[in-house]
Chains A and B, each alone.
Chain A
């Protein structure tokens, strides 16, 4: 992502102020979502605030080369945040390269044989499990939590999530599948441990 040119003289500063206004109009509406994403990544509110600020500064510097039609604003900002986070912890974010076209048969190797099993032990009324669901999500590894919440909260497509996380689409789908399964098993344990009875409703 190309960085913007430095200000040179009064005329350039005027243009940058206008760009700042445009950038704020484009980016600040996504602040809450970005902060949530930062909390997911850092698991620390202070670091999350710093990460959000760093993200906005980096994005502003690269704003001159940003084209809205190519990239939605929120995935673009999230990608910057994701890169900034993993740069800060010195972790390589690059996954092994797989084919861009996702191979469902390759993905299916992860599935066990047998009939389709329900994700949960019963028809759950999710309202009873809001708090438990939050805890279960918090306990997921950050890679799973990231993909899960980008899918559920930000409603990103698989390809958009892959762009944000700079990983193949197959990795996104695999992590999403595992995250859902982990949540399901966690909630099954919750139900079993508390001996909760649920009513099976008709669908």
Chain B
């Protein structure tokens, strides 16, 4: 590698961006060339100088709070505007839907009821011990049932 060739690679070499082979060739050249070595040193020196003169930048103190408030607004925003074909036909595209204030709590209640009823308590009889064990059977989304024994508290003797 001669000086002209090295000049192509000087910056990348100084920045550690060369592959292994080129890096080795560059090092071999630098071992014999003070001028190219100086060039590499100056690139590193420039980087250090820029870091020193520019890395003490500080954002305004109030900007951090301003950003926090802006992010808070993102999680407290109302429902986004939803496209509604009926509203579009009537020229009302872009208006937010008017939802009943009771809709969310009623929906949550419906979800809770559905969740509870999804757990089915199925009594089974253990013939050998003459006891009945209550199994909590959970209906999973795919319709298969998995069973977890609830154990002793559910046991009661068969009359």
Contact = CB atoms under 8 A, between A and B. Distances in A.
A130 B52 contact: yes
A108 B87 CA distance: 61
B3 to A, nearest CB: 5
Interface of A: 6-10, 13, 16-17, 20, 23-24, 28, 31-36, 39, 49, 52-53, 56-57, 60-61, 104-105, 107-108, 111, 113-120, 124, 126, 129-130, 133-134, 137, 148-149, 151-153, 157-158, 173, 176-177, 180, 183-184, 203
Interface string B72-85: 10111101100000
Given A57-B71, A60-B74, A126-B46, 16 more contacts: A7-B77, A9-B104, A20-B74, A24-B71, A28-B64, A28-B67, A34-B59, A52-B59, A115-B35, A116-B7, A118-B42, A153-B50, A158-B15, A158-B17, A176-B11, A203-B37
A169 to B, nearest CB: 9
Given A8-B79, A9-B108, A35-B59, A53 B70 contact: yes
B11 A173 contact: yes
Contacts of B10: 116
Contacts of B58: 32, 35
A202 to B, nearest CB: 11
A203 B64 CA distance: 44
Contacts of B101: none
B54 A153 contact: yes
B21 interface: no
B36 A116 contact: yes
A104 B38 contact: no
Contacts of B57: 32-33, 35-36, 39
B75 A153 contact: no
A180 B11 contact: yes
Nearest to A115: B3
A125 to B, nearest CB: 10
Interface of B: 3-4, 6-12, 15, 17, 33, 35-39, 41-43, 45-55, 57-60, 63-64, 66-68, 70-72, 74-77, 79-80, 104, 107-108
Contacts of A119: 39, 42-43, 46
Contacts of A133: 49-50, 53
A40 to B, nearest CB: 9
Contacts of A180: 11, 43, 46
19 contacts: A9-B107, A20-B72, A31-B67, A53-B63, A56-B67, A60-B74, A108-B7, A111-B4, A116-B6, A116-B7, A126-B46, A126-B48, A126-B49, A153-B55, A157-B17, A158-B17, A173-B12, A180-B11, A180-B46
A165 to B, nearest CB: 16
A134 B76 CA distance: 42
A49 B49 contact: no
Contacts of B38: 118, 203
A10 B111 CA distance: 13
